Amino acid sequence: MTAKKMTKKQLAEYEKILLNMRQKAMDDADSIKENSLHDSGNLDSTARDSNYAYHMADVGTDSQEREKSFLWYTRENKFIRHIDEALIRIKDGTFGICKTCEELIPHARLKEVPNTTQCVACKNENH
């Protein structure tokens, strides 16, 4: 059985896509971090407000928002790590090969989710 691999040209293409995605994700993560730092400043002044009961609702919403952006930020970091791992797989030539069935992952799927490590069939079986 011959080992399946992507051509160097294909790998170079995906590397470019991944690097672009990584840059965009980093930019997004940065702006979220800035926003949530800014929000926590607002939260303090709201909490100090004399009309405590009235503002409780606002505080709730704010911390929910903050939690949401924190979760999003965490997810974004995870996403960047996945991209890094995909970039490593490009370097060692295993990129685009399903880690479960060891078949090449269809290009349509890789273009959509370049950081994937499984073909659709294997991914669905795991769920």
* CB-CB contact of 87 with 18 (8 Å): yes
Residues 93 to 122 in contact with Zn ion, rule: CB under 5 A: 98, 100-101, 119, 122
Q: Which residues pair with 104 in a beta bridge?
A: 97
Token look-up 């800035």 returns: 34
Q: Which CB, 88 or 101, lies closer to Zn ion?
A: 101
CB of 113 to Zn ion, least distance (A): 13
Contact 5, 93 (CB under 8 A): yes
| CB 105, min distance to Zn ion, A | 7
Judged by the rule CB under 5 A, the positions of this chain that interact with Zn ion are 98, 100-101, 119, 122
